[in-house]
Structure 1
């Protein structure tokens, strides 16, 4: 029977214990997941203003790109 605790007791079809309590193998392996589940976060950039300038350049570049028209030629020609 699993209750979320690190110990488990095996039971038979009637619910009677078949042996002593022991460490649950699923719970024991869960300890390895704790270290693997924390994501590595990179150090934040020191200059945010540079990122803003690059983002503004990308927005202005996207606005100046040719827009496809329903009856016009493909934009890559």
Structure 2
């Protein structure tokens, strides 16, 4: 049974890698023509042209292919920066309990018990 699981895992990994390459190739070929950027008086306009130089409409991207591309368009992870100023250390002062008093029991919705 162990050998069957190993072979099945390898076949599934191979199928996943082959299908992901197919989606990447389909995404790269989805333009359907040459993209030309024109700077006009109204701003930058991108026009897609076919092999004869005729403009074509916007490209329809397959939703099945787009589902796996979510990670490609995510923004970069934020960088951690040092604080601009120093802060003073906060020191907790323990209060003394009156003689004969015991610590109160923590309640379910109260603050955490003192350490």
Q: TM-score, normalised by structure 2?
A: 0.27
Larger strand proportion of the pair: 2
Larger helix proportion of the pair: 1
Q: TM-score, normalised by structure 1?
A: 0.35
Bigger radius of gyration among the two: 2
